[in-house]
Amino acid sequence: MIVSIIIVLIVALIVIALWVSAVQQHKEKQEAERRKELTKQKAIIEETEEALMNSANIPLSENIIRVLQRRIYEALNTMVTNSPTSKALKSRLGEAKTHLSNAVLDNSSEALALPNNDKQLVGLIQGIKKLRSILRSEHNKGRIDSQVFVLEDKRLEKLQLRINIESQIKRGLSARSASMVGSARQYFEKAQATLSAVTYSDEYVTAKRLEVEGYLEAISVELRASNASALKKKTEAEQDDLDILFAPKKKW
């Protein structure tokens, strides 16, 4: 009888130990998933805040600013759900909600100033690409109306094209002024190829095509004139050599 009781107790202890272990593992798994989700949402917030800070360099419309603000709010809301006791997160969520109710400045019509530094220029292009990626992600989640998404994505696409073309033209003119005609032609040809690949046409694209074609034609004229001048000098030099060769010999 005692043996049976001992066996039952041992089995019960094993069962309890297994149950406690399973519960502990489940809690650890939940905690790991919670931390993973918090890390994910934190990365989303940091990425979105960086995109908002780019508004100082990239003209952003009210629609895009609202999308970014809403993205931050949703990420904070998810973090508060996963950490309901965090006062700091609740405070930030309240601030994000206030931002959504405040008026925003639409600066999409402002002119874009191109930086002189190549590193800053690359950062500007990367910033626009990141914005387009965020818009696409939010649209896939159903947070952006399709019409608004198409409108804003097309506007950013045109802005990206403008940066590309203006920088190539600027480099081409700089190379041309430094008498680096070959490099200048490469920059203008690259701009021309980019414009030719555009699937739409507007005033900007049409104007820049004509402008780039004008630069390339001017360079072609300069090269033809330079080649003609070089050929003339070479011919004159060869003629001088022949004159010397066949000139009457002087008698001493």
> What are the boundaries of each domain within the chain?
1-106, 111-236
**Average pLDDT value for residue range 46-71:** 88
pLDDT digit string (tens) for 132-164? 999 999 999 999 999 999 999 999 999 999 999
Task: Identify the band that residue 226 occupies on the pLDDT scale cut at 50, 70 and 90.
Answer: low
pLDDT value at residue 222:
80
Residue 106's CB: how many other CB atoms inside 10 A? 14
Spatial neighbors of 121 by CB under 8 A, at least 6 apart, are 114, 115, 163, 167
Spatial neighbors of 106 by CB under 8 A, at least 6 apart, are 60, 61, 62, 65
User: Alpha helix (H) ranges present in the chain?
Assistant: 2-53, 62-82, 87-101, 118-140, 146-177, 181-196, 203-246
Spatial neighbors of 189 by CB under 8 A, at least 6 apart, are 216
Residue 213's CB: how many other CB atoms inside 10 A? 13
**pTM score of the predicted model:** 0.74
> With 80 as the cut, is the pLDDT of residue 115 above it?
no
Residue 208's CB: how many other CB atoms inside 10 A? 21
- The conformation of residue 249, written as its DSSP 8-state character, comes to P
Task: Identify the band that residue 242 occupies on the pLDDT scale cut at 50, 70 and 90.
Answer: very low
Amino acid at 10: I
Residue 67's CB: how many other CB atoms inside 10 A? 24
pLDDT value at residue 53:
84
C-alpha 57/C-alpha 46 separation (Å) is 18
Task: Identify the band that residue 252 occupies on the pLDDT scale cut at 50, 70 and 90.
Answer: very low
Mean pLDDT of the chain: 84
pLDDT digit string (tens) for 13-25? 888 888 887 888 8
